[in-house]
Amino acid sequence: MQIIRRVEEMKAILKDNKETIGFVPTMGYLHEGHLSLIKESVKQNTFTVVSVFVNPLQFGPNEDFDTYPRDQEKDAKLAKEHGVDYLFMPEVSSMYPEPLGYDITVKQGADVLCGRSRPGHFDGVVTVLLKLFNIVRPTRAYFGMKDAQQLAIVDNFSNQFNLPVEIIGLPTVRAEDGLALSSRNVYLSEEEKKEATYLSKALFNGFKQFQDQHKSGTIIEEVKDTINQNTNGNIDYVEFLEYPSLKGVSSSTQIFVLALAVKFEQARLIDNIIFTKERILNRFERKDD
């Protein structure tokens, strides 16, 4: 495995490559969730590129950019062990050598869920991904369904701008107790870690309730009750929407997302499940082109 720290170098290596390139963009502090994406990429492609870049553009002024967990050495070790060919860990100054003269504004799907709580977040996400896609030129890019809104927005962005990359969404990897793995989990206290298991419990109960009744009725309230009764976290949102449009649910909705964000003392956690009337989905890929 090679570690690349400069944009030009990364581009030069990948330039004339005819083989398939799988790309897994991350903010590092790698865990089994990231590794599941890496494994799939290694399986499906000739080369796998993983980026570790904590992108300042997607953090608001009072968010955790400075304290976001980082461990490049461990990330490099894990990437190497899992067959990654190139680990791209650019400095901020290499990615943004000068102030950007352009704004990308996400107008579709950004007014709900995290987009509403974190204004500008998805503008920063698609901006960095556009740059990363142009640098790496991946055949396929892998995203976790853990960040369901991000996946929907990136898939739509890529589709609307005809980016030559296939977007693949893979299921959320959870600890045995159901807690969705996240780099931010390190900031949970032992007590909060136990409490946080109620996030996924509440979501899976919500799905069960939906299956029993086939209507959304009180799902959101029940999810909120479960969280309020079992945790000291503050609910940022619980929403039930159509996926991947992220519009309100209607009688023609085929795929649903039940998603939440809860703030604990030092970490804001998100989780969701994506399902049809019959089952929970564990892969997301655009099928129509």
Assigned token pair, 258: 């039940």
Which residue, 28 or 206, is less far from ligand AMP as judged by CB? 28
Q: Which of these segments, 12-20, 141-149, 224-232, 280-288, binds ligand AMP (CB under 6 A)?
A: 141-149
Spatial strand order in the sheet of 2-4 = 2-4, 86-88, 47-52, 21-26, 140-144, 166-170, 284-285
Residues forming a β-bridge with 143: 169
- d(CA 202, CA 269) in angstroms, rounded, equals 14
What single-letter amino acid sits at 27? M
Q: Does 272 bind ligand AMP (CB under 6 A)?
A: no
Does 34 qualify as catalytic in the annotation? Answer: yes
Look at residue 88 and give its three-state secondary structure.
strand
Q: Which of these segments, 42-50, 156-164, 179-187, 250-258, binds ligand AMP (CB under 6 A)?
A: 179-187
| Contact call for residues 196 and 174 (beta carbons, < 8 A) | no
Helix count (H) and strand count (E) of the chain? 9, 10
Binding mask 226-265 for ligand AMP (x = CB under 6 A): ----------------------------------------
Q: Which of these segments, 61-69, 83-91, 175-183, 256-264, binds ligand AMP (CB under 6 A)?
A: 175-183
- d(CA 191, CA 172) in angstroms, rounded, equals 23
Q: Does 33 bind ligand AMP (CB under 6 A)?
A: yes
Which residue, 209 or 275, is less far from ligand AMP as judged by CB? 275
Look at residue 284 and give its three-state secondary structure.
strand
Which of these is catalytic: 31, 34, 82, 121?
34
| Contact call for residues 170 and 283 (beta carbons, < 8 A) | yes
- The residue within the footprint of ligand AMP, chosen from 21, 34, 51, 203 (CB under 6 A), is 34
- d(CA 208, CA 174) in angstroms, rounded, equals 19
| Contact call for residues 146 and 269 (beta carbons, < 8 A) | no
- The residue within the footprint of ligand AMP, chosen from 153, 173, 199, 261 (CB under 6 A), is 173
What single-letter amino acid sits at 118? R
- The residue within the footprint of ligand AMP, chosen from 47, 53, 122, 143 (CB under 6 A), is 143
Q: Does 181 bind ligand AMP (CB under 6 A)?
A: yes
Q: Which of these segments, 62-70, 102-110, 143-151, 261-269, binds ligand AMP (CB under 6 A)?
A: 143-151
- The residue within the footprint of ligand AMP, chosen from 10, 14, 23, 26 (CB under 6 A), is 26
Applying CB under 6 A, which residues contact ligand AMP?
Answer: 26-27, 33-34, 36-37, 143-144, 146-147, 172-173, 180-183
As annotated, the active-site residues are 34
